[in-house]
């Protein structure tokens, strides 16, 4: 079993205890729709294992992060947002807007996104 934090909403989604609209799943990765989308396409890609922030990723977990990135790219292709442009974002800690402390890539697209602020 992947490591789990009983207080964590995304661990609850991984466990199937909290409903989500799943888009992709394998042994170590899950992707689902964001519950409060800020763009027409707003997906989240997470590791099944609980990792609180990007700063907690261990050196040996680089491959996992790479596979999460490839999953995000593949989902962007499937959503048809590549040509117009999209964004892959990971917020790190509260000052950057991180609210759920289980790492996730946001995949955002389907509208003009403008410059990063």
Residues that bind ligand 5GP (CB under 6 A): 9, 18, 20, 32-36, 91, 97-100
Q: Write out the binding residues for Zn ion, residues 17-36 only, by CB under 5 A.
A: none
Distances (CA, A) of 103 to 31, 32, 84: 12, 13, 26
Set 50, 102, 104, 106: catalytic member? 104
- CA gap 48, 1 in Å, rounded: 9
Residue 99 near which of Zn ion, ligand 5GP, none (CB within 5-8 Å, type-dependent) = ligand 5GP
Please say if 50 is a catalytic residue. no
Beta-strand ranges (E) seen in the chain are 22-25, 29-33, 41-47, 86-89, 105-109
Catalytic residues: 104
Residues that bind Zn ion (CB under 5 A): 5, 8, 10-11, 50, 102
């Amino acid at each position: 079993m992947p490591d789990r934090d009983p207080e964590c909403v995304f661990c609850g989604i991984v466990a199937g205890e909290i409903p989500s609209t799943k888009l992709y799943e394998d042994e170590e990765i899950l992707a689902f729709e964001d519950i409060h989308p800020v763009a027409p396409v707003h997906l989240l890609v997470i590791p099944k294992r609980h990792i609180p922030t990007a700063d907690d990723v261990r050196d040996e977990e680089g491959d996992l992060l790479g596979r999460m990135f490839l999953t995000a790219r593949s989902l962007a292709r499937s959503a048809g947002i590549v040509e117009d442009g999209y964004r892959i974002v990971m917020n790190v800690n509260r000052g950057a807007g991180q609210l759920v402390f289980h790492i996730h890539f946001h995949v955002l697209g389907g509208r003009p996104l403008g410059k990063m602020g």
